[in-house]
Chain A
Amino acid sequence: MLDIWLSGIEGLLQVRELAFLGLGMAIGLAFGAIPGLGGSTALALLMPLTYGLEPFTALALAGGVMGAVPMGGSITAILLNAPGTAPNAATCLDGYPLAQQGKAGLAIGAAASANSIGGIIGTLSVLAVLPVAKELVLLFGPPEFFLLALLGLVVVATTSHGKMLRALVAGGLGLMISFIGYNDVYGDERFTLGVPYLWDGVHLVPALIGLFAVAEMINLMVKGGAVSHDARNVKITRISSGLVETFRHWGTVLRGSLIGTVVGAIPGVGGVVASFLSYSLTVQASKDPESFGKGNIKGVIAPEAAINAKDGSALIPTLAFGIPGGAEMAVFLGILILHGLQPGPLMLVQNQREIYGLVWALTASCVLASFIGLILVRPLALITLVDSEILAPVVLCVAFVGSYAIDANIGNVVLTAGFGILGYLMLRFDYPRLPVVIALVLGSTAERNFHQSMMMGDGSWAIFAGRPIALILAALIAALLCWPPAQALLRRRDNRGTALAGAGKP
């Protein structure tokens, strides 16, 4: 096992790989710092550019981006109360009050060191689980893979923060789109409307560029203005004392990292849940809960540790089952597929060097990006002063040309525009976009495994009932679908009880 880990490190310690890792970190920090962009947009834009690279180099670049985005996001969360990425929103709660008190450096220093430690703990979890994951994946046949794909979709829908119905609609739309093109099992052509470009189905990468990069730019164009209008907001002091504070509150770092690790390994749950869960548990465990929200440094450390730990463990479902842990991992999955790396059992066996290289790249990026972030914090914060009217056209040009460059096909550009408009409409009308992405990724896998299962069972649905893992997965799906209504019922009963108790008082 050690030799495989070492081969990953050895592969990463090449000039070319290190250069791309550094480039990825710089891009990740910049995209993380711009609210609304984040890791998925950065990866979506970079995806076509990696086409000419070796898979290992492309993964080093992607690892650099993914490890650095949270650090970039925490800078704007603390300085401007504008989280660069959604999970950094929890950091705003205490980070921004600290910045208002003139302690921005303290908060950024603490966020950087918590980020690094969280990243390392996340990596340790991947190293521990990946060898076992290989054995586990081999227990899965077509019925289990079909149900697992379904579970991935249901998890995403039920964890969409009170928008289960809209998430299910978005997932259904994604599935319908994923069936366009040649049918894997029966070989006939479906829903192509006679367009030859669609024979291969909807190309994942241009669709993702549209859904994330283009949609966010349209949104920025509509909102207008810059993120910050006042350059005086961008001032930083006392960074080193923040580093000391993190080590003083090691229990908070450890708790946050463990929460991030566990939550990250659950497909579709994502960083927002990890960071807010870590924050709220830290508040509950505190002897001084009233100080949170007013500038308690533990309120910065807890979510930041969770965010980076989550990135490592989110690789487990992505690499082992091909089920992305979140939007960023879904786009990352696109990079893997673009380079001919098919996530799943075979990848765990055949591409161990690439996998461990990626794990190390992610870890190095988490740690190094924190230091680089501290050095570059002032110029990075200035990005938020760039007006959207300048930023949007430039990013759109890179997005569209990048989409074309994947296979020099102008059809990609049209597809990207279509998905960009779809993505904006989803943002505007409050439909989550992640279920569409997950459905696009899992749709054909689910259908293929469904047909294979039915063939295995001679057309009988009993095939799903006769296998223990399939039964567990089916029970999980049913439980998850029932959970939000059950929660609503319990809440209603509680409210009624409180109302009755209130009415009974003299």
Chain B
Amino acid sequence: MKRVLGTPLLEYLPAAGLLAVTAAYLVQAYSYAPDSRLVPAGVAWAMIVLVVLDLAARSRTRLGEAVNRWLNSAAMSRGAPDDAKVRPIDRQIAAVLWVAGFTLALALIGILAAVPLYVFASLRLRGRRPAGLCVALGTGTGLLIWLLFAVVLRIDLYPGLLATGL
């Protein structure tokens, strides 16, 4: 992976992303009345300072070392995180996409269809489990959700956008 100031580029991404979000937040804050924006804008300005320090702390420079020494002593006692071997990036993206996909399924086809489908698909495609076990666990989880929420708690389970009409 490409390194910038001695640190893999990926390690800067969270702080850089936060900086962009904070800048957008600050711009939005200044569209409100002065009294109303006072606290959010104050917090956002403080955040910009903190995030810039965080960006500096991630670099392998003298400034980075100084920031870590004063404000992030835990970062001094261990090397740069080398999660790439322990947590392959494709596995991380896949896990996040499974959650995003499940959320989309819940919104589109509703809870009672999405739950068994998700459990089945997750076990079969991610876990490579036998089809019988996947069907049993998918049906079982769907049944558990229906019993707990629809029968015991009497909650109308969401039918999905496709059923209610987009």
Contacts and interface: CB of A to CB of B under 8 A. Distances in A.
Interface of A: 49, 51-52, 161-166, 168-169, 172-173, 175-176, 179, 183, 185-186, 188, 190-191, 214, 217-218, 221-224, 387, 389-390, 392-394, 396-398, 400-402, 404-405, 408, 410, 413-414, 416-417, 420-421, 424-425, 428-431, 446-447, 450-451, 484-485, 487-488, 492
B53 A165 contact: yes
Contacts of A413: 103, 106-107, 158
Interface of B: 11, 14-15, 18, 22, 25, 28-29, 32-33, 35-40, 43-44, 46-47, 50-51, 53-54, 57, 67, 69-77, 81, 83, 86-87, 91-92, 95-96, 98-100, 102-103, 106-107, 111, 115, 118-119, 122-123, 126-127, 129, 137, 141, 144-145, 148-149, 153-158
B32 A161 contact: no
B14 A429 contact: yes
B18 to A, nearest CB: 7
A147 to B, nearest CB: 14
B47 A172 contact: yes
B35 A389 contact: no
Nearest to B119: A393
Given A190-B36, A390-B127, A176 B67 contact: no
A485 B127 CA distance: 47
28 contacts: A49-B153, A52-B154, A162-B72, A163-B74, A165-B67, A165-B71, A165-B72, A166-B72, A168-B50, A169-B18, A169-B51, A173-B18, A175-B43, A176-B25, A179-B39, A190-B29, A191-B40, A218-B99, A396-B102, A397-B119, A400-B103, A401-B111, A401-B149, A417-B100, A430-B81, A447-B39, A484-B70, A488-B70
| Max chain B Cβ within 10 angstroms of own Cβ: one of A51, A396, A404 | A396
Given A404-B158, A410-B106, A488-B69, A188 B43 contact: no
B91 A222 contact: yes
A60 B51 CA distance: 42
Contacts of B126: 221, 389
A179 B156 contact: no
Contact of B32 (A188, A387, A414): A188
Closest 7 CB pairs of A and B: A162-B74, A389-B127, A162-B73, A417-B103, A165-B71, A172-B47, A221-B95
A132 B16 CA distance: 47
Given A221-B98, A396-B99, A401 B115 contact: yes
B61 to A, nearest CB: 16
A183 B67 CA distance: 35
Contact of A405 (B71, B115, B155): B155
B35 to A, nearest CB: 6
Contacts of B122: 389, 392-393
B111 A404 contact: yes
Contact of B95 (A165, A185, A218, A405): A218
| Max chain A Cβ within 10 angstroms of own Cβ: one of B53, B70, B98, B157 | B70
A169 B50 contact: yes
Nearest to B17: A425
| Max chain A Cβ within 10 angstroms of own Cβ: one of B25, B53, B71 | B71
Given A169-B54, A218-B96, A390-B127, A188 B74 contact: no
A504 B111 CA distance: 73
Nearest to B121: A393
B57 A165 contact: yes
Contacts of A429: 11, 14
Contact of A485 (B71, B141, B158): B71
Given A176-B40, A179-B39, A394-B141, A421 B100 contact: yes
A172 B67 CA distance: 18
B155 A390 contact: no
Contacts of A492: 69
A52 B153 contact: yes
A221 B155 CA distance: 29
Contacts of B14: 425, 429, 431
Contacts of A168: 50
Given A165-B71, A176-B25, A400 B39 contact: no
Contact of A165 (B11, B54, B119): B54
A494 to B, nearest CB: 13
A224 B157 CA distance: 31
Contacts of A397: 115, 118-119, 141, 145
A421 B73 contact: no
A417 B107 CA distance: 12
